[in-house]
Amino acid sequence: MKKILFLIMILAAISVFAGKYENELTERMKVAEEKAEAGWDTGVRSEMVNASLDLDNEWDKELNNVYNLILKKLPAKEKVKFKAEQQWIKDRETKVQKAYDKYEAEEGPRMAGELAASERLSITKDRALQLAKRYDKLNK
């Protein structure tokens, strides 16, 4: 009972601090994340990598959706700046390649693919949530 009450309190706190779009995004992604968890839980490397890549694709779709919503809200001058921020995509690819190289040297090529896919997922998810927060700020 205490655990349930604690969980309810945490969820309430999250909803107070997070915006509407961010909350909706997080809720929509729960199904995709649960599906990925099932893939990760198999212990089969190919399924684990595919689960990370599939979830990354879902987060990327959401990221593109919120990106376009933000673009619609911004005035022309700010759109130019906002579009310039998309350098993060190249940075993501560089970080993923560096992670792959590092993991390949430390863990071998089989493990490197799994860990690099996880790194890519983390970066994409973080960026999608950043944009969701930004969109929520635009709507206040």
Residue pair 62/131 in contact by the 8 Å Cβ criterion: no
The per-residue pLDDT for range 35-78, each reduced to its tens digit, is: 999 999 998 988 988 999 999 999 999 999 999 999 999 999 99
Backbone angles phi, psi at 19, to 5 degrees: -85, 175
The per-residue pLDDT for range 66-77, each reduced to its tens digit, is: 999 999 999 999
Nearest-angstrom CA–CA distance, 63 and 80: 18
Q: Confidence band (pLDDT; 50, 70, 90) for 8?
A: low
Q: What is the total residue count of the chain?
A: 140
Residue pair 66/137 in contact by the 8 Å Cβ criterion: no
Amino acid at residue number 127: R
Q: What is the pTM of this model?
A: 0.79
Q: Where are the alpha helices (DSSP H) in the chain?
A: 2-17, 20-41, 45-73, 76-84, 88-107, 109-138
